[in-house]
């Protein structure tokens, strides 16, 4: 879990779509808004829908707004963000968001170290003549915040080549240049990479096992109903075909009866047995093609002759074993020459 964003359990707003309410708990409101900007740009990269919720001012009243302190009714809550989309895409976004926020914060820290190195260098001495320790702490803090804002604006956008620093200006006025430098030095930030196990963990939070089992049973029930419908259509087709054949046979019998003077006989279809619909033919699964093993693989020694023992021959073909090794009586075995 990232320390820069809180991700409660997403909830399903419609079939197949989930919504996550992100919270940015940074102590500084400006820093939380920068994290909000990064999450907003990343959601656009992943093709999700995002919105900033509205926060009502508890001190608002008509009197305070018109005749009091001018309190507003409310404003956009930049510490929260609603992201909506398909389950898989939202899970990948949440995993990527934690990593991207950590990497952007790491780049801002690297830029702060660049500022510290510049402050201790000789070219910075003319700009630090009227600065004391307190003002430099403030400038370092503001510089890191400005760099973080520039990095947040760079997520999801394309920038031109990195510009060069201006030696006639202090470095705290060139935070965009330093942000571009650390971005290019790190090779940028991968906005789409997400760990598969973490994505599956978020998917498990969205769709618990009970819901997944219910969905599986619903799919099986839908398949069963579809199979019953197809079976009813097949039986109806058999009945229609049998009725059409019966009508044709009755018409032919009526013509023959009229010619033979046997019009009083009942039609043949009345004496027919009831229709018996045959069961559907089972689909025979296809066998995997047999792999032919080359001779060189079967006989690695280079020979094509293999000695087969009598036990193997008796196991596979007992008749051949009796023909190859006939029984020899004890009397004849006595006169067999010694080996």
On whether the pTM is more than 0.85, the answer is no
Cα–Cα separations (whole angstroms), residue 53 to 22, 93, 212, 238? 11, 19, 30, 61
Give the C-alpha separation, 98 to 192, whole Å.
12
> What is the pLDDT tens value at each position of the chain, 339 positions in all?
678 888 888 888 888 888 889 999 888 888 888 888 889 888 888 888 888 888 888 877 877 777 777 788 888 888 899 999 888 889 999 998 888 888 888 888 888 898 888 888 888 888 888 888 898 889 888 888 888 888 888 887 766 666 778 788 888 888 888 888 888 888 778 888 888 888 888 888 787 666 667 778 888 899 899 989 988 888 888 888 888 887 887 777 777 777 766 655 555 666 667 777 777 777 777 777 777 767 666 666 656 566 667 677 777 777 666 666 666 666 665 555 554
Locus of tokens 């196990």? 197
Residues β-bridged to residue 23: 6, 80
Extents of the domains making up the chain: 11-206, 209-271
Residues β-bridged to residue 22: 81
Backbone angles phi, psi at 286, to 5 degrees: -75, 135
Within 10 angstroms of residue 5's Cβ, the number of other Cβ atoms is: 23
């Amino acid at each position: 879990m990232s320390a820069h964003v809180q991700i409660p359990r997403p909830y399903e707003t419609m079939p197949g779509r989930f919504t996550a309410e992100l919270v940015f708990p940074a102590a500084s409101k400006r820093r939380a808004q920068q994290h909000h900007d990064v999450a907003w740009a990343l959601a656009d990269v992943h093709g999700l829908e995002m919105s900033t919720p509205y926060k009502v001012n508890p001190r608002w009243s008509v009197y305070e707004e018109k005749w009091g302190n001018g309190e507003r009714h409310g404003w956009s809550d930049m510490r929260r963000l609603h992201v909506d989309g398909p389950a898989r895409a939202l899970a990948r976004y949440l995993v990527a968001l934690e990593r991207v926020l950590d990497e952007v914060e790491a780049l801002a820290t690297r830029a702060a170290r660049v500022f510290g190195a510049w402050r201790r260098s000789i070219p910075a001495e003319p700009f630090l003549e009227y600065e004391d320790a307190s003002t430099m702490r403030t400038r370092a803090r503001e510089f890191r915040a400005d760099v973080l804002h520039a990095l947040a604006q760079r997520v999801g956008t394309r920038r031109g080549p990195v510009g060069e620093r201006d030696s006639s200006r202090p470095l705290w006025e060139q935070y965009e240049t330093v942000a571009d430098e650390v971005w290019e030095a790190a090779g940028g930030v991968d906005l789409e990479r997400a760990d598969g196990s973490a994505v599956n963990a978020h998917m498990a939070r969205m769709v618990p096992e009970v819901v997944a089992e219910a969905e599986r049973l619903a799919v099986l029930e839908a398949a069963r109903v579809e199979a019953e419908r197809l079976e009813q259509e097949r039986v109806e087709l058999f009945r229609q075909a049998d009725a059409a054949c019966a009508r044709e046979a009755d018409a032919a019998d009526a013509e023959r009866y009229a010619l033979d003077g046997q019009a009083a006989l009942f039609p043949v279809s009345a004496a027919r047995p009831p229709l018996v619909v045959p069961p559907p033919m089972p689909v025979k699964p296809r066998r995997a093609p047999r792999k032919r093993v080359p001779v060189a693989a079967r006989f690695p020694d280079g020979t094509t002759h293999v000695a087969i023992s009598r036990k193997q021959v008796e196991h596979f073909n007992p008749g051949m074993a009796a023909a190859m090794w006939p029984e020899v009586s004890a009397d004849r075995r006595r006169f067999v020459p010694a080996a």
